[in-house]
């Protein structure tokens, strides 16, 4: 058997299930050792050791199991085609319990098909992202109602630029009873974030919070249900979240406020060019839209239609095909638990 064929078979034996279809460059398993070589036969033990070993263009695969550790991603890829990818091993699903932090020094990182439980003793947000062109795809994200889940960017640690949040389930984030501070997806200091095809539900406060300096955010084809409020635009201290598009979403059943609202306390300017159009918006405790200050929604094709989710208390957000809201969902939206 030639050396070339042996190498090819090794790659085929560990092909990932993400769109990149890369092989596993290194592997971690709960039965492994951080002194090992990181192969399938001799895997690393910790997710942090696996990440530290990866270089641009490489993929780290995490075997099924539970990993209790907080992880920092300090180094990323060099381009969209030479990313650093962390994903569950093919056919398996790993659970990481602890804080996940992507530093400003870690661009072009993809975290895919992992259960991310951000519960940590310091109650810090997780995942926290300050990198550029990082992506979370097909993850299940929660912190069991202990604090904020996603935070994208900060004035202290750097803005999040071009982050992609796609095909995830983001749920049960934020302390109860609600504090008005803990959100499922907090786009804080960021530019060009894309939030696509996710199911965002049962979070204590906002499902998506664009505040105080979220610029050019695209929110499309998501289900945003049973949060304190579904989505808020905001600003403060001279900053105003602006130039965002919220379209083709199912925005429903907010529990403590309207489904969509704006909060731009004077003397800060209101947001500009925030457009909310062609969504199903239904069932907010205080109506569908709050006072349209800093965003535009009237006469833009939004429909007040109940999607009739199949079993939301059981996590099944399937929508009958005959319902007008069904056409807004992407084929890959994870309406059922992973």
45-102 pLDDT, tens digit per residue, is: 999 999 999 999 999 999 999 999 999 999 999 999 999 999 999 999 999 999 999 9
Q: Per-residue DSSP letters for 180-248?
A: S---SEEEEEEES-EEES-EEE--SSEEEEEEEEEES-EEES-EEESSSEEEEEEEETTEE-BS-EEES
Q: What pTM, to 2 d.p., does this model score?
A: 0.92
The pLDDT value given to residue 150: 98
In a domain? residue 56: no
> Does the residue 76 lie in any domain?
no
Distance of CA 322 to the CA centre of its chain: 29
Q: Is residue 83 assigned to a domain?
A: no
The answer to whether residue 273 sits within a structural domain is yes
Residue 10: what pLDDT? 39
- pLDDT number for residue 19: 29
Assess if residue 198 is contained within a domain: yes
Task: With respect to residue 125, please indicate whether it lies within any of the assigned structural domains.
Answer: yes
| Residue whose C-alpha is closest to residue 109's, from 124, 126, 87, 90 | 87
Residue 185 belongs to domain spanning: 118-328
Q: How far apart are CA 131 and CA 215, in angstroms?
A: 15
Domain assignment present for 337: no
Least confident of 14-28, 81-95, 153-167, 273-287: 14-28
Q: Is the pLDDT of residue 9 over 80?
A: no
Lookup: tokens for 52 = 């530290």
Put the strands of the sheet holding 65-68 in their side by side order. Answer: 65-68, 94-97, 114-117, 140-142, 169-171, 199-201, 223-225, 250-252, 280-282
Give the model's confidence band at 266: pLDDT under 50 very low, under 70 low, under 90 confident, else very high: confident
Is 27 domain-assigned? no
The helix/strand/coil state of 2 is: coil
Q: Return the percentage of the chain with pLDDT > 70, whole number.
A: 93
Structural domains counted in the chain = 1
Give pLDDT tens digits for 211-238: 999 999 999 999 999 999 999 999 998 8
């Amino acid at each position: 058997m030639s050396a070339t064929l042996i190498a090819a078979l090794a790659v085929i034996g560990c092909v990932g299930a993400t769109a990149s279809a890369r092989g596993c460059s290194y592997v971690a398993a709960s039965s492994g050792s951080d002194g090992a070589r990181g192969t399938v036969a001799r895997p690393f033990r910790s997710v942090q050791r696996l990440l530290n070993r990866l270089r641009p263009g490489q993929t780290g695969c995490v075997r099924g199991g539970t990993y209790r550790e907080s992880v920092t991603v300090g180094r990323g890829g060099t381009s969209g085609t030479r990313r650093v990818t962390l994903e569950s091993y093919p056919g398996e699903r790993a659970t990481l319990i602890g804080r996940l932090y992507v530093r400003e020094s870690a661009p072009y990182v993809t975290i895919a098909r992992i259960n991310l439980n951000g519960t940590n003793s310091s109650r810090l947000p997780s995942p926290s992202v300050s990198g550029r062109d990082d992506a979370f795809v097909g993850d299940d994200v929660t912190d069991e109602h202990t604090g904020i889940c996603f935070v994208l960017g900060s004035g202290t640690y750097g803005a999040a630029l071009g982050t992609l949040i796609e095909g995830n389930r983001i749920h049960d984030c934020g302390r109860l009873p609600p504090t008005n501070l803990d959100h499922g997806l907090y786009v804080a200091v960021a530019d060009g974030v894309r939030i696509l095809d996710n199911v965002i539900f049962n979070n204590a406060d906002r499902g998506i919070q664009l505040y105080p300096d979220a610029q050019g955010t695209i929110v499309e084809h998501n289900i945003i249900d049973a949060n304190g409020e579904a989505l808020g635009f905001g600003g403060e201290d001279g900053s105003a979240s602006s130039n965002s598009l919220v379209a083709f979403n199912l925005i429903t059943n907010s529990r403590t406020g309207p489904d969509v609202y704006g909060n731009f306390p004077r003397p800060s300017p209101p947001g500009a060019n925030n457009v909310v159009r062609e969504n199903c918006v239904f069932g907010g405790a205080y109506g569908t839209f709050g006072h349209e200050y800093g965003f535009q929604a009237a006469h833009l094709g939004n429909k007040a239609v109940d999607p009739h989710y199949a079993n939301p208390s059981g996590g099944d957000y399937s929508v009958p095909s005959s319902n007008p809201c069904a056409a807004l969902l992407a084929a890959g939206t994870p309406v059922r638990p992973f």
